[in-house]
Structure 1
Amino acid sequence: MSISVGQILEGKVTGITKFGAFVSFPEGENGLVHISEISNDYVEKVEDFLKVNDEVKVKVLSVKDGKVSLSIKQAEKKVNAPKEIEWNVDEATKDLSFEDKLNKFLKESNEKYVEMRTRDNKRKMGNRKTKNY
């Protein structure tokens, strides 16, 4: 079987390295899924996402000099359907006046902002401690 760019194929993970995973196909062909093409999430370790003998769906990105480049995340792309808006009114705020709802929103927003700034400041302070001057 000839593998061509753009094909979606099913294969089995035959090997895992720190830079990706090797996938073989029933016809005897094989290719590499680079670590950056495994998931849309951050992949620190390939083993966190794949195991040997896992069945995976892959998209062929390129075929060059007998080397086949594959992608799992591009094979799983889905069409983004419009999200349904839930118009149900929260029972806790149903009887509040507009001003009360606005005040509640401002309070929650301010709390989230303070929490975010605190987290950022801790992160900045942590970076200062690790630098060697």
Structure 2
Amino acid sequence: MSIEVGSKVQGKVTGITNFGAFVELPNGSTGLVHISEVADNYVKDINEHLKVGEMVEVKVMNVEADGKIGLSIRKAKPQAERPERPQRPRHNNRSNDRNDNRHQPKENFEQKMARFLKDSEDRLATLKRATESKRGGRGARRG
């Protein structure tokens, strides 16, 4: 029996690590269930979900050229058993920025440049004051 990607098989947990569990498949090969594929919710300690010797149903996620087999317990569950994950709203920052700036009048290039120069001069003045006070005034170095 060859292992095909997408197939669901029964396997026996043979080892548990902090990053996942090793499962022996019916054909004698061993695959890894990553800790993120054990349950639908966050798994802090895999030992709370699996025990060595336990039989589990897994779905084959990938088979690499070097023989490594990626497995998933949570994707092997029927859709009805899996809790619905809430979808995060997707934000497009550019459109949100445009929406926030609707009430502001449009600036032309000269106005933007004048505002930039004023802000820049204010920042430089503040920086100069801070460095002069640390050096003892006027920027003179002590010998």
TM-score (norm 2): 0.54
- Structure 2 Cα separation of the partners of residues 26 and 68 of structure 1: 13
Match of 2:79 in 1: 78
* 1:31 matches 2:31: yes
* 1:58 matches 2:58: yes
Aligned partners of 2:16 and 2:52 also within 8 Å: yes
Aligned partners of 2:2 and 2:27 also within 8 Å: no
- Structure 2 Cα separation of the partners of residues 26 and 73 of structure 1: 19
Match of 1:68 in 2: 69
Match of 1:127 in 2: none
Match of 1:89 in 2: none
- Structure 2 Cα separation of the partners of residues 27 and 4 of structure 1: 12
TM-score (norm 1): 0.58
CA distances 1:101-122 after superposition (whole Å, capped 9, x unpaired): xxxxxxxxxxxxxxxxxxxxxx
Say what the alpha-carbon RMSD is for the aligned residues: 1.2
Structure 2: give runs of 5+ residues left out of the alignment: 82-143
* 1:20 matches 2:14: no
Structure 1 or 2, whichever has the larger Rg, is 2
Residue type at the aligned position of 2:39? S
| Percent identity of equivalent pairs | 54
Q: In the TM superposition, what is the alpha-carbon distance from 1:79 to its structure 2 partner?
A: 3.6
